[in-house]
Structure 1
Amino acid sequence: MTDEAIRTERLSKHFGRTVALEGLDLEVPRGEIFGFLGPNGAGKSTTIRLLLNLIRPTSGRAWIMGVPVGDVRAAHRHLGYVPGDVALWPQLTGMEILTYLGRLSGRVDTAYRDELIERLRLDPSLRARSYSKGNRQKVALVAAFMTRPDLLLLDEPTAGLDPLMEAEFQALTREAARRGQTVFLSSHILAEVEDVCERVGILRDGRLIEVATLADLRGLNATVYDATLDGPAPDLSDVPGVASVEPLPDGVRVTLTGPPGPLLERLAGTGLVKLRSHEPSLEEVFMTYYESPARPETGLTARLDR
């Protein structure tokens, strides 16, 4: 069996003149938790729908565990899928839905299914029509994980979950990876990705603009400076290397992608009281991609939806 859980070659999808995905070349090895990031409309869900063969590509090819995605019967044997907006049969109970889906797959670990139900605090005796969005999401998560698939395709999987259940979801994904399963996590929630993913790919307007480990992604970007000022903040827009500027109650936060000398010189002339630097969070790193004029070829023009 191939070492790649997902491989695409120049995968593209156009809807008329609208480019949803263009020239995606991506490899995700087995056993990895891979984050697939970008604002809503960037092409994340289109990519997953292509991998599921729910839509056909305009051009390019894709494979799941070495199987062409067009061979649906063979490819889907390896898959578990959680959509961002879960629709269930309203008249069935949660357990009836899980039993039905389990029979379709033919490989349910019932003990693990029951463990998942308990860990996610799902009441499977209720009819789906009574479930909240979060509980519908739990049913989909149990259905995907209970078959222990080689590849989990998760499209905004924590939508509607409370923080406690988000933490449980993160634990489940880590356990899956330790068992050798691959997790492909599509999300615009940066904290979710930062907590569990090993590498991330960043989409902008249907194009993949970066693939890197979180450590490398931070390393490619510079330092965040929190400056306490005795007076108004100066104009920093023309300072070399300044990627973003955010006002603080008593000063300014600056993300810098170059040497600090010009920034320090500008700040020193405006009543600098204190300066603290730290490694950027994933969100701060992303803002340099979205906002930096120094990266016209990769800088995203839209902020991630919150």
Structure 2
Amino acid sequence: MIRLEHVTKEFAPGRGIFDVSFTVESGTIFGFIGPNGSGKSTTLRHLMGLMASDEGKATIGGFDCWNQSKEVKQLVGYLPGEISLPGDMTGADMLHLMQQLHRSDPARQQRLLKRFPFETKTKIRKMSKGMKQKLAIVGCFMKDAPVYLLDEPTSGLDPLMQERFLEWLELEKRAGKAILMSSHHFPEMEKACDRAALIKDGRIIVEADIHELVRSSRREYTVVFRSEAEAAQFAVRIGVEPKREEVRFQTDERLTLNQVIAHLTHYDVQLIRPSADDLEQVFLHYYGEGETS
């Protein structure tokens, strides 16, 4: 449903996106991960027909995102990373306008407002960041589009609203929607996405099944020993520095967990604590490997 084929857009030497390719099928959620300035928003703007590429092609539903942008926009619900709405309008005014533009189902709007409640009579300029984000989410999804492009969708939401948002995404996925979501919030990406791509300096450095990405990354562990002497001895064996009775280390293809366990049988271990097995470790793993300078 969403397809980018070798898309390049160079703003200045080394700045832009370069040879970006991936596909998002209907009924799947695709995660797009990278730091600020890595090219995530630029990629989404190409898909919305807001930019023309220097090379390559972006299509949604078979329509060219630049040359057939009108048809593309009819298929897409878009949530930009920076919410900019008329400050003198109330939330209710804005939703009414969106409903008229998209001819959306009022019952769907009410379901969304029940899930993401806020005071609709408040003027937008007086809204908190979280309220504006909920207004933007309701406005985006009330369109009931087959494709959604979401740029940092949970920014400003509290943990409860973040969880409700993920539950809503799952419902949309089951309904066969194709969803592309960029985010810095790693736990939500791991929960929600089927596949993900990591982008750095405008280039995709890895794309894979989300669980394969997590499994292929380094895992970090902390082992607590009974004494500082034992911690120091163990640290020498695996080539790291101890911190009093604790030793922190990462497993990878050079140091496997089985090798560590074999070493630990010689010591009086009080505790083994794994780090969170989430995309943040994947991010650090791949970005660290990508450094060449």
What one-letter code is carried by the residue in structure 1 that aligns with 2:200?
A: R
**1:67 aligned partner:** 63
The answer to whether the 8 A contact 1:36-1:44 is kept is yes
The change in CA–CA distance for 1:20 and 1:134 in structure 2 (over 3 A counts) is same
State the shift of 1:73 in Å.
0.7
**Structure 1 unpaired stretches of 5+:** 302-306
Mapped to 2, the partners of 1:68 and 1:267 lie a distance apart of 58
Per the alignment, do residues 16 and 95 of structure 1 end up closer, same or farther by CA in structure 2, a change over 3 Å counting? same
After superposition, give the CA deviation of every residue in 1:193-233 in whole Å (9 maximum; x if it has no partner).
01211111111111111111122113323544332243265
Q: List per-residue Cα deviations over 1:124-176 (Å, max 9, x = no partner).
A: 11111111111111111011100111111110011111111111111111111
What is the aligned partner in structure 1 of residue 98 from structure 2? 101
Shift of 1:189: 0.9
Q: How do 1:132-143 and structure 2 match up within 5 A?
A: 132-143=128-139
1:96 counterpart letter in structure 2:
D
Please give the secondary structure, in 2, of the residue aligned with 1:80. strand
2:17 paired with 1:9: no
What amino acid does structure 1 have at the position aligned with 2:16? A
Q: In the alignment, does 2:146 pair up with 1:150?
A: yes
1:28 to 24, 27, 49: 24
Deviates more, 1:150-159 or 1:245-254: 245-254
Match of 1:89 in 2: 86
- Paired residue for 2:195, among 195, 199, 223? 199
Give the TM-score of the pair, scaled to structure 1. 0.83
Q: Distance in 2 between matches of 1:280 and 1:236?
A: 23
- Secondary structure of the residue aligned to 2:93 is helix
Cα pair 1:80 1:145 within 8 Å, conserved:
yes
TM-score, with normalisation over the residues of structure 2?
A: 0.87
Alpha-carbon distance between aligned partners in 2 of 1:79 and 1:211, rounded to the nearest angstrom:
23
Percent sequence identity over matched residues? 34
* Deviation (angstroms), 1:236: 7.0
Indicate how the Cα distance of structure 1 residues 199 and 261 shifts in structure 2: closer, same or farther if over 3 A, else same. Answer: closer
Question: Does 1:185 pair with 2:148?
Answer: no
Rounded to whole Å, the distance in 2 between the matches of 1:162 and 1:228 is: 34
More helix by share: 2
Q: 1:54 to 1:235 in 2, by over 3 A?
A: farther
**Structure 1 partner of 2:247:** 252
Partner of 1:40: 36
What SS is found at the alignment partner of 2:89? coil
What is the total number of aligned residue pairs between the two structures? 286
**Farther off after superposition, 10-19 or 21-30:** 10-19
* Closer/same/farther in 2, CA of residues 143 and 233 from structure 1, 3 Å limit: farther
Superposition RMSD on alpha carbons, in Å?
3.0
Instruction: Tell me the alpha carbon deviations over residues 225-282 of structure 1, each in whole angstroms, 9 at most, x when there is no partner.
Output: 3322432658979969xxxx89877413322112438964997699673563758332
Counterpart-to-counterpart distance in 2, 1:137 and 1:265: 47
CA distance in structure 1 between the partners assigned to 2:104 and 2:252 by the alignment = 49
1:77 corresponds to 2:60: no
